[in-house]
Amino acid sequence: YGVQVARLAGLPEAVVDRAKEVLHQLEEGEVSGKTNRLVDDLPLFSVAVKREAPKPPKSDALGMALGEINPDEMTPREALEALYRLKGLAGI
């Protein structure tokens, strides 16, 4: 239950995945009679050491287009056109 709450709370997917691993190991320990294993033996946040964050794409057309927009200097019509252009770049 706590793992699903963590996912709903918006915790990073890597942390949620690690929590699932820890839960699975704890559940296996209960079944096999190894309940004396400490939770500290299964560090939840060790995932940060094991996994790297995905690298951003080198050429991001959507990001570049967003950087060129200055909404404070746009008319409502220009803003709407820019929004449709951005949706097209995003493939939506």
Q: Which residues of the chain have pLDDT under 70?
A: 30-59
CA distances from 23 to 18, 34, 44, 47, 69 (A): 9, 14, 10, 14, 46
Do 41 and 10 share a structural domain?
A: yes
Domain that holds residue 65: 61-90
Global confidence as pTM:
0.37
pLDDT digits (tens, 9 = 90+) for 2-23: 888 988 998 888 888 888 888 8
Residue 16 resides in a domain:
yes
Do 11 and 42 share a structural domain?
A: yes
Domain count, the chain: 2
Percent of the chain with pLDDT over 90: 21
Tokens standing for residue 52: 């790297």
Residue 22 resides in a domain:
yes
Tokens standing for residue 12: 């990073």
